[in-house]
Structure 1
Amino acid sequence: MTFSICVREEYEDEDGNEQRRFGVAVTTRLPAVGTLCPFVSENGAVATQSLVNVELGERGIEYIDDGLAVEDALRSLLNADDGAENRQLHGVDADGAFTFSGEECHGWYGHREGENYTVAGNLLTGEAVIESVAETYAESDRDAPLAQRLIDALGAGYAEGGDKREELHVQSAALKVRSTEDGDEPYYNDLRVDATETPIQELRETYRLASDGFEQAMARYEEAMEADDLDAADEE
C-alpha cells in the first residue's frame, strides 16, 4: 500500500525547554489510508502497509509507550505474525528506528533509513519515489511546521510517480504529528483526505485551512480557554 514516512525531531519550545515531536504521513491509491496505516504518540511513530495488519501499528505504538524500544517492539510483533513476509513496517522512537519489507511485498518495494527518519513503499513506479521523499524531508527547513514538511515529502514522492496503479483513481493521504509539549495538538497535526483523485493537493489545502482556522481560534479564544470559560470570549 504505497509509501509513507516516519520522523523524530528534537526542538526547543517557546520557554526554552527541550521537547520532542514525532510524525507520520502516508498516501496510496485506495480510499481512507488514514484509518489503517499511520500511528503516532508522544513516544514514537509507526507505519504499517503493503498487506496491512492494523494490529502491528496499534500494538507497536502501545509497546513503545510502555517503554519497549521500537526495534524490539516491531520485531516481536512481526515474529508473531504468520503473514509477516507480506508486510511493510517501519517507525521511530526517542532513540532508534526500525524498517522491514517482507519478501512477498509487490514491486517496486523497499525502504530507507536516515538520521531520525524512515521511509518505505511498495507497488511504486521505482526507487526514486522513496529517495525523493527522504531527501525532501532531510533538506526541509526545521523552522517550518512538521505537518507542512511531511506533506512536501509526500508530494515529492508523488511527483516521481508514486503508486504505480494508475487505473485506481480513488486515492487518499493522511498525516499525524504528536509532541511532548503539554496541551492539545494544533488542528493541523491530524489530517486525512479519505477519497479524492488529487490526494497531495487536497491534503495541502486541508492543512492550509486547518492552520488558518487554528490561528483564528487562538486569536479569539486563547485567554478564554486558559480560563476554561469559552462563553466569556463569545460575549466580547
Structure 2
Amino acid sequence: MTFSICVRERYEDELGEEQTRFGVAVTTRLPGVGTLCPFASENGAVATQSLVNVELGRKGVAYLDDGLAVDDALNALLNADEGREQRQLHGVGSDGEFAFSGAECQGWFGHRVGENYTVAGNLLTGESVVDAAAEAYESGDRSEPLAKRLVDALEAGHEEGGDKREDLEVQSAALVVETTEERSPRPYYDDLRVDATRTPVADMRETYETATEGYEAAVEKYQE
C-alpha cells in the first residue's frame, strides 16, 4: 500500500509543560486506506501496509500503550505472523523507531529511519518517493501543525511519482495525530480521511484547510 510516514515530536504546551505528539499519514492507489494502515495513540504511531495485516497496527499501538518499546512490540507481532515477509510495518514509540520491510514485498519497496520518524513504501516508482517524503518532513516548519506537515510529506512523495500503479485511478489518503496534551476540543484537522478520489493528496490538503477553518471558527464562537 504505497507509502506512509510516522513521527514523534516533543514540544512545550502553552503552559510550558513538556508534551509529546505522534502522527502517521498514508496515501495509496486503493480506496479506504484510513481503515487499514494508520494507527496512533498518545504513546506512539504505527503503519501497517503491503499485504496488510490490520492487527499489526491495532495490537502494535495497544502494546505501546502497555509500555513496551516500539521495537519489542512490533518485533513480537512480526515473529508471530506467518505472512511477515509480505508485510511492511513501521512506527515510533516514546523513545525509539522501528521499520521492517519483508523480502516478498513488491518493488520498489523499502524504508527509511530518521531521528524521530520512519517512512516506508512499496509498489513505488522508486526510492526517491520515500526520500522526498522524509526530507519534506525534516525541513518542515515546526511552528506549523503536525497534520499540515504530514500532508506536505505526502505531497512531496506523490510529486516524486508515488504509487506506480497508474491503472488504479481510485485512491485514498489519511492522517492521525495524537498527543499527551489534554486539548478541548481536539483539533478537527488531527484525524482526517479521504476515502475514494482520483486526487488524494490535493483533496487531503483541501480537507485539512477546511477542517482548520471550521475548528478556528468553533473555538472563536464557543470560547469563554
TM-score range, shorter chain: over 0.9
Larger radius of gyration: 1
- C-alpha distance in 1, partners of 2:125/2:182? 41
Q: Which residue of 1 aligns with 2:182?
A: 182
1:111 maps onto 2:111 in alignment: yes
- 1:108-187 matches, within 5 Å, as 108-184=108-184, 185-187=186-188
1: CA distance, partners of 2:223 / 2:187:
12
Note the C-alpha offset of 1:221.
1.1
Give the match for residue 200 of structure 1. 201
SS at match of 1:166: coil
RMSD: 0.5
Any runs of at least 4 consecutive aligned residues in structure 1 with deviations exceeding 4 A, and if so which?
A: none
Deviation at 1:183, TM superposition (A): 2.7
Aligned residue in 1 for 2:85: 85
Q: CA deviation at 1:222?
A: 2.1
Partner-residue secondary structure (3-state), 1:137: helix
Question: Identity of paired residues, percent?
Answer: 70
Alignment of 1:50-61 (within 5 A): 50-61=50-61
Distance 1:6 1:222 in 2: 32
1:12 — aligned with what?
Answer: 12
Query: Unaligned stretches of 5+ in structure 1?
Result: 224-236
In the alignment, the residues of structure 1 paired with residue 42 and residue 223 of structure 2 have an alpha-carbon distance, to the nearest angstrom, of 23
Looking at structure 2, the residues matched to 222 and 122 of structure 1 have their Cα atoms a distance apart, in angstroms, of 45
1:111 CA displacement: 0.1
Task: Supply the AA of the counterpart residue of 1:197.
Answer: R
Distance in 2 (alpha carbons) for counterparts of 1:47 and 1:136: 19
TM-score by length of 2: 0.99
* Whole-angstrom distance in 2 between the partners of 1:51 and 1:222: 45
TM-score by length of 1: 0.94
